[in-house]
Amino acid sequence: MDPNVRKNTVAAWTSLIRASARSLAVIEAALAGANLPPLSWYDALLEIEKAGPDGIRPYVLKERLLLPQYGTSRLLGRLAQAGYIIRTPCDGDGRGHVEKITDEGRRMRQAMWPVYQQSLIDIFEDNIDEKEAEILHDILRRIAN
Amino acid sequence: MDPNVRKNTVAAWTSLIRASARSLAVIEAALAGANLPPLSWYDALLEIEKAGPDGIRPYVLKERLLLPQYGTSRLLGRLAQAGYIIRTPCDGDGRGHVEKITDEGRRMRQAMWPVYQQSLIDIFEDNIDEKEAEILHDILRRIAN
DNA sequence: CAAGATTGACCAATCAATCTTT
DNA sequence: AAAGATTGATTGGTCAATCTTG
């Protein structure tokens, strides 16, 4: 006979999805309300910017952003379409591409940050203290793997 | 000048979305792997079943599931299509509908539970102890609102 | 054949408009 | 007008097939 899941576990799981859904909703609403692109654009632009002038390969970005290959491909397509990145063929590996951020891309990422940051403050810092944030991180890290 | 978000906060936020994304992915993969419907169907079927023989109104379900009205409408449409619920006009309020679970719906919900439950055990109980689950719940509840 | 990447087709979520009844 | 609910059109995510190069 199957073992039963603990009530504690279900309670933790429920609050986990609700907390993440609500946080995401708050952030996306703040960005949309300021006529800014979605959070996924921020994450991608940040990684591409951090890669520096050499740019980054899609398969590396995919690992960093935890996106499937086709998801990365579609996101990069939209970012390029918007003029925030440039995509060039990769010297030395004819299969690959290299992604680099543009000045417009850098500006947009910088414009998004204050809105994103303020949402995080509203969601987290108004509700939990510094010690609790650390505890949360320590426990969730083990679930996030 | 804007205040800066704490590093602790960003770390907690990052582990929060990663943990919830990974948990969801594990559960959905287990369900799909057993040829069962997605998690959202389970949540809806459970609420409709709990409502008993009188059924439940979509606008109540919407609150319980934290779904937008159109999301509820589309989900109920799929459940009815699959034969897991029946939708009837509401006596006493000509605008509304009443949703009731069918025997097939009950069976499907019961079939999904062991798979769902085992995923929760794998994700949570293998990685955090009972006390940590409680701490997690206590902290996340304040963020989930 | 593997790896890197894209794309057509399909499904699900979202937005805005709509409809009926209160 | 507001509440309950649905729907056409669009967007975004997912699957499987595809293409090119290593």
The whole-chain average pLDDT of chain B stands at 97
Measured between alpha carbons, how far is A61 from A77 in angstroms, rounded to an integer?
Answer: 14
In whole angstroms, what is the distance from residue B76 CA to residue B66 CA? 14
What is the structure's pLDDT at A28? Answer: 98
Nucleotide of closest approach to B28 (CA, C1') = D14
Q: Which residues of B touch A135 (CB under 8 A)?
A: 135, 139
d(CA A139, CA A132): 11
Q: How far is CA A118 from CA A36, A109, A134, B10, B11, in A?
A: 14, 15, 19, 11, 15
pLDDT at A45: 98
DSSP per-residue letters across B64-112:
HHT--HHHHHHHHHHHHHTTSEEEEEPTT-TT-EEEEE-HHHHHHHHHH
Q: How far is the CA of B71 from the C1' of C16 (A)?
A: 14
Contacts of B133 in chain A (CB under 8 A): 6, 8-9, 11-12
pLDDT band at B83 (very low <50, low <70, confident <90, very high): very high
% of chain B residues with pLDDT over 70: 99
The per-residue pLDDT for range A94-135, each reduced to its tens digit, is 999 999 999 999 999 999 999 999 999 999 999 999 999 999
Q: Which residue bears the tokens 């990663």?
A: B18
Residue B115, both tokens = 């798979």
H helices, E strands: number in chain A: 6, 2
Whether B133 sits inside 8 A of A17 (CB atoms) is no
On average, the pLDDT of chain A sits at: 97
Q: Which residue has the tokens 């603990």?
A: A6
pLDDT reported for residue B40: 98
List, for residues A9-52, the tens digit of each pLDDT value.
999 999 999 999 999 999 999 999 999 999 999 999 999 999 99
Cα-Cα-Cα-Cα dihedral sign, residues B113, B118, B124, B129 = positive
The span from the CA of B52 to the CA of B26, in Å, is 30
SS3 A22: helix
Are the beta carbons of B76 and B35 closer than 8 angstroms? no
CA B101 to C1' D4 (Å) is 20
Other beta carbons within 10 angstroms of residue B98's beta carbon come to 17
Using one digit for the tens of pLDDT, what is the confidence trace for B11-66?
Answer: 999 999 999 999 999 999 999 999 999 999 999 999 999 999 999 999 999 999 99
**In this structure, are residues B23 and B66 in contact, taking their beta carbons and an 8 Å threshold?**
no
Distance C9 C1' – A70 CA (angstroms): 14
Closest-lying nucleotide for A25 based on CA to C1': C14
**Interatomic separation, CA of residue B41 and C1' of nucleotide D3, rounded (Å):** 26
Q: How many residues in total does chain B contain?
A: 145
The pair of structure tokens assigned to B122 is 């794998």
Of all nucleotides, the one whose C1′ comes closest to residue B69's CA is D5
* Contact flag A121-B3 (C-beta cutoff 8 Å): yes
Can you tell me which residue has its alpha carbon closest to the C1' of nucleotide C16?
A: B70
Please judge whether B9 and A135 are an interchain contact, meaning their C-beta atoms are less than 8 angstroms apart.
no
Residues of A in contact with B13 (CB under 8 A): 23, 120, 123-124
d(CA B127, CA B12): 17
Whether CB of A91 is under 7 Å from strand D: the answer is no
Q: So what's the pLDDT on residue A145?
A: 86
B19–A143 CB contact, under 8 Å: yes
- Give the CB-side neighbour count of residue B43, counting CA atoms within 13 A: 17
Q: Please name the residue of chain B whose CA is at the shortest distance from the CA of residue A67.
A: B21
Residue B2: the pLDDT is: 67
- Quote the pLDDT of residue A129: 97
pLDDT for B90 beyond 90: yes
What length does chain A have? 145
The closest of B54, B15, B20, B40 to A124, measured between CA atoms, is B15
* pTM to 2 decimal places: 0.95
Q: Decide if A140 and B5 are in contact by the 8 Å CB cutoff.
A: no
- Give the pLDDT confidence of A46-103 residue by residue, as tens digits: 999 999 999 999 999 999 999 999 999 999 999 999 999 999 999 999 999 999 999 9
Nucleic strand D under 7 Å from the C-beta of B64:
no
Q: How many angstroms separate the CA atoms of A35 and A112, rounded?
A: 10
How far is Cα A44 from Cα A72, in angstroms, rounded to an integer? 9
Specify whether the CB–CB gap between B54 and B97 falls below 8 A.
Answer: no
